[in-house]
Amino acid sequence: MESEPVVRQAVPRALIRYSAMDTPPSARAEPDGAPARPLAPAGLALFLRYPEPGTVKSRLQEALGAERAARFYWECALLVMAKAQRLKETEVFAFYRPEERGREIEALVMGRFGKFEGRFIVQRGRTIGERINHALERLRMNGFARQIVLGSDSPTLPQEALQQAVESLSSVDCVIGPTWDGSTYLIGVRAPDVRMFRDVPWGTGRELAQLHDNLAALGRSSLLLPRWHQIATPDDLPFLEAQVRHADYRRLKALLDEGGQGS
């Protein structure tokens, strides 16, 4: 999961929105006589950033240009979101930043997934580890027995790997989706513990090793999912170009085919 600095700004009260998990219980009361909607076993937090040119996919900007890199990032995020929504026994939430762009992020997501209304929650935390732990805790506090955080940098990740994460948490304490560069594309747990993120050097390629050591020290069982590519640098683009020949990725392929480098 790509780590970038957080810019914290005051948010006008008019932009503070209740999500399905933020709404006070009185506002979510079921109609008289209506049974409560059953909760899926797994809650999944998809991490999103507003696609402002120059603030996302910084290492791809030399190859794609700032504007196209931003559109590339958002198309990757939508592809991952589509796969997340096809998961069985899972409810999906968009954990976004920065806080002040929540209204725009919601509009962009709703433009592709109209049924996603009410599932937007702002990320909290200074570091990527704090933000992941916050999301896991929010899912746990809202009744999900399995909590998963998913990044948006692996758009061609097989659907089967995501479903394996959901199902494996019925028998192990933690699942981790490793990337080829030593990072992670997914972290799932049955009981969040901030200690599993202690001393993890985010953004260095050594995240996976430290996470493994922390889990072992805590006595937690874990499972590694299939290793996959995180599309973060120009060196990752050849792998992606081979993958997007499939029809499901026609929008992403069109972005890559728009022109020469830096266009």
Q: How many CA atoms lie within 13 A of 262 on its CB side?
A: 1
Exposed/middle/buried for 109, CB within 10 Å: 0-12, 13-18, 19+? buried
What pLDDT is attached to residue 260? 54
pLDDT reading at 15 higher than 80: no
What pLDDT is attached to residue 2? 54
pLDDT 10s digits, 42-63: 999 999 999 999 999 999 999 9
Under 8 Å CB-to-CB from 190, ≥6 apart: which residues?
145, 146, 147, 169, 172, 173, 174
At 213, give phi and psi (nearest 5°): -60, -40
Single pTM value for the model:
0.84
> What's the CATH class of domain 38-256?
alpha beta
DSSP states along 50-90? ---TTTS-GGGHHHH-HHHHHHHHHHHHHHHHHHHHT-TTE
Under 8 Å CB-to-CB from 206, ≥6 apart: which residues?
182
- 64 or 24, which is more confident? 64
Sole residue written with tokens 């992670």: 184
pLDDT 10s digits, 131-155: 999 999 999 998 999 999 999 999 9
Could you give the CA distance from residue 35 to residue 30 in angstroms, rounded to a whole number? 7
What pLDDT is attached to residue 22? 40
pLDDT reading at 262 higher than 60: no
At 49, give phi and psi (nearest 5°): -125, 150
What pLDDT is attached to residue 122? 97
pLDDT band with cut points at 50, 70 and 90 for residue 12:
very low
pLDDT 10s digits, 168-189: 999 999 999 999 999 999 999 9
